[in-house]
Amino acid sequence: MVKQALKSKLVYLDVCSLCRPFDDQRYLRIRLESEATKLILENVRNQKLKLAVSPVHRIEIGAISDLAERIKILGLLENFGELVKIDMAKARVKAERLFDNGYGVADAVHVAFAESAGADFVTCDDRLLKRCLKSDLKIWCGDPLQFCFKENLK
pLDDT at 2: 39
> What pLDDT tens digit does each residue of the chain (154 aa) get?
334 444 689 999 999 999 999 999 999 999 999 999 999 999 999 999 999 999 999 999 999 999 999 999 999 999 999 988 899 999 999 999 999 999 999 999 999 999 999 999 999 999 999 999 999 999 999 999 999 999 999 9
User: What CA–CA distance (Å, rounded) separates 70 from 14?
Assistant: 14
Q: What CATH number matches the domain at 2-85+119-151, 3.30.70, 1.10.3470, 2.160.20, 3.40.50?
A: 3.40.50
Contact (CB, 8 A) for 151 and 143: no
Residue type, 24: D
Give whole-number Cα distances, 132 to 55, 79, 87, 98, in Å.
20, 29, 21, 9
pLDDT at 4: 42
pTM above 0.75, yes or no: yes
User: What CA–CA distance (Å, rounded) separates 38 from 54?
Assistant: 20
Domain boundaries of the chain, sorted by first residue: 2-85+119-151
* Cα distance from N-terminal residue to C-terminal residue, the chain: 19
DSSP for 68-96, please give it: HHHHHHHHHHHHHEEE----HHHHHHHHH
User: What CA–CA distance (Å, rounded) separates 108 from 48?
Assistant: 27
φ and ψ of 133, to 5 deg: -70, -20
Strand partners, 115: none
Q: How many CB atoms lie within 10 A of CB 35?
A: 16
